[in-house]
Amino acid sequence: MPSLARRSMRWGVLVGALASAFTAGAANPPAPKPGDTVAPIYTCIDSQGRRLSSDRPIPECLSQEQKLLRRDGSSKAVVPPLLSPEEKAKQDAARQKAEQAKLVRDAEARRDRTLLSRYPDRAHHEDARAKAQEPVTRQIELARQRLAELETESQALAAERDAQQGKPLPQALKARVAANEGSIEAQQTILRTQQAERERLTEQFDAELGRLKLLWAAAPTRPASGATTP
């Protein structure tokens, strides 16, 4: 008998601990309505098919949902099953993934609205492309012109060096040669930079155009200016 009493005590402690864990881990029951003056009734059907009821969370149904009933038998709420740490981690990861996907969709929608507002048709987009590339193209042309001038100057300096016939080069000539070589290197750097920028702009506007074609096709048709809508 003492042994049976100890087992009963341990079972009571276990049931109390499970009920506390359920209450802490499951969703909090809704706040009582003005007409609710007594605690709700928890009810469920356990794994053996028995319908159980209690005035507190039922330990036998921790892994499944439990219904909350008012004293008159009407349904008040449903308490979801108590999740294991692994299940809760998986649920949190899925929620975070869904939230991140929504952020991406919202960002894409904002980008699409901005594109359509900025470029209502292809003419506006082509005009913007030309304006963006105009200063870059001008810089490329200037760099090429300057390189041609420096190459002519380099050939003249080479002729002066050859005229020395093996003699030490004058300091002034050395300085001019060094300045010419430095200028050529600088202009080549400018040319490469501007060519890369032109390629970047081309890729940007081509990508925008591809997206805009889809948006223009999906956008509702606008009546022409001055036309009457039937």
The answer on pLDDT for 178 being more than 90 is yes
Q: How far apart are CA 146 and CA 132, in angstroms?
A: 23
Give pLDDT, residue 227.
Answer: 46
As beta bridge partners, residue 45 has 51
In the three-class reduction of DSSP (H, G, I as helix; E, B as strand; rest coil), residue 76 is classed as strand
Q: What is the structure's pLDDT at 95?
A: 93
What is the overall mean pLDDT for the chain? 83
**Most trustworthy range by pLDDT among 1-5, 55-59, 67-71, 194-198:** 194-198
- What percentage of the chain carries pLDDT values higher than 70? 79
pLDDT of 184 above 90 = yes
Owner of token pair 């390189």:
147
Over range 180-192, report the average pLDDT.
97
List the structure tokens of 21: 């864990």
With 70 as the cut, is the pLDDT of residue 4 above it? no
Residue 61's SS3 state is: helix
> Is the separation of the CB atoms in 80 and 27 below 8 Å?
yes
Q: Angle CA(80)–CA(86)–CA(91) in degrees, nearest 5?
A: 55
Dihedral angle over CA of 14, 8, 42, 21, nearest 10: -10
Looking at residue 199, its amino acid is: E
pLDDT at residue 60 in the model? 86
Helices marked H in the chain: 2-25, 85-118, 122-163, 171-218
Q: Is 140 in a helix, a strand, or coil? A: helix
The residues spanned by each domain of the chain are: 12-27+38-79, 84-118, 120-218
User: 26 vs 22, 77, 186, CA distance in Å?
Assistant: 6, 13, 69
**Is it the case that residue 161 has pLDDT exceeding 50?**
yes
Query: Considering the chain, what percentage of its residues have pLDDT values greater than 90?
Result: 53
pLDDT over threshold 90, residue 105: yes
Assigned token pair, 159:
């002729």
66, containing H or E segment: strand 66-69
pLDDT score of 130 more than 90:
yes
**Dihedral angle, C-alpha 70, 32, 81, 23, nearest 10 °:** -120
